[in-house]
């Protein structure tokens, strides 16, 4: 299986080159033209991406999240919700890389077969990086008023988190 997965991308590139050759298209020139057209889009997206990365790093490094969650620890222990899971649930809509780092920490600390590891994995798979998606896609095309997209995205994330708790408790 690993052999096949290693061949997928080279086969796709070979297919594009062969197909372009059969259609008498200068594949190299088409590629460079497409690359040139991407620069204005990159310049449009960069400020939004920079602001998002800066905000996420500020939020994580300041310790504000841990401070806020420390007040919720007694309630979470009664509900038998590990604090790490709540941290992951909060960070997942904001930053995929931060959530992945938190997932890695949970898996290293508790193990992949633990309840926390399984629950964190389900949350990682059933939610999305809502703020990142809105920043990237809406920012790249210049939409400033996101209307109901943020609420819909966060409700979908909440539904994924609730479903993850239900599934983890039912099956694990």
Q: Which of 18-32, 38-52, 74-88, 125-139 has the lowest mean pLDDT?
A: 38-52
Q: Is the pTM of this model over 0.85?
A: no
Examine residue 111 and state whether it is found in any structural domain, yes or no: yes
Examine residue 24 and state whether it is found in any structural domain, yes or no: no
Query: In total, how many domains does the chain have?
Result: 1
Examine residue 145 and state whether it is found in any structural domain, yes or no: yes
Give the best-scoring range by mean pLDDT among 4-8, 43-47, 141-145, 150-154. Answer: 150-154
The answer to whether residue 4 scores a pLDDT higher than 90 is no
Examine residue 47 and state whether it is found in any structural domain, yes or no: yes
Look at residue 23 in the predicted model and tell me its pLDDT. Answer: 92
> CA angle 122-126-127, nearest 5°?
120
- Helix (H/G/I), strand (E/B), else coil: 100: helix
Examine residue 81 and state whether it is found in any structural domain, yes or no: yes
Q: At 69, list the tokens.
A: 């969650």
What number of CA atoms fall less than 13 Å from residue 10's CA on the CB side? Answer: 5
Q: Which residue has the tokens 């992945």?
A: 100
Examine residue 156 and state whether it is found in any structural domain, yes or no: yes
Angstrom distance (rounded) from CA 126 to CA 131: 16
pLDDT band, very low/low/confident/very high, at 172 (cuts 50, 70, 90): confident
Angstrom distance (rounded) from CA 114 to CA 107: 8
The boundaries of the domain holding residue 85 are 41-171
Examine residue 14 and state whether it is found in any structural domain, yes or no: no
Examine residue 167 and state whether it is found in any structural domain, yes or no: yes
Residue 36, CA distances (Å) to 24, 47, 49, 94, 142 in order: 21, 19, 20, 31, 20
């Amino acid at each position: 299986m690993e052999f096949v997965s290693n061949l997928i991308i080279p086969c796709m590139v070979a297919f594009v080159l062969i197909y372009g050759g059969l259609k008498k298209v200068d594949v190299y020139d088409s590629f460079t033209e497409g690359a040139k057209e991407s620069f204005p889009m990159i310049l449009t997206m960069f400020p939004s991406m920079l602001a998002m990365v800066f905000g996420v790093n500020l939020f994580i490094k300041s310790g504000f999240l841990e401070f806020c969650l420390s007040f919720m620890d007694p309630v979470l222990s009664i509900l038998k919700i590990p604090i790490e899971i709540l941290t992951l649930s909060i960070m997942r809509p904001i930053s995929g890389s931060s959530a992945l780092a938190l997932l890695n920490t949970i898996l290293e600390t508790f193990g992949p077969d633990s309840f926390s590891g399984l629950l964190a994995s389900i949350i990682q798979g059933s939610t999305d990086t809502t703020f990142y998606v809105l920043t990237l896609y809406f920012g790249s095309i210049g939409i400033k008023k996101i209307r109901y997209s943020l609420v819909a995205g966060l409700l979908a994330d909440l539904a994924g988190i609730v479903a993850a708790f239900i599934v983890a408790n039912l099956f694990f």
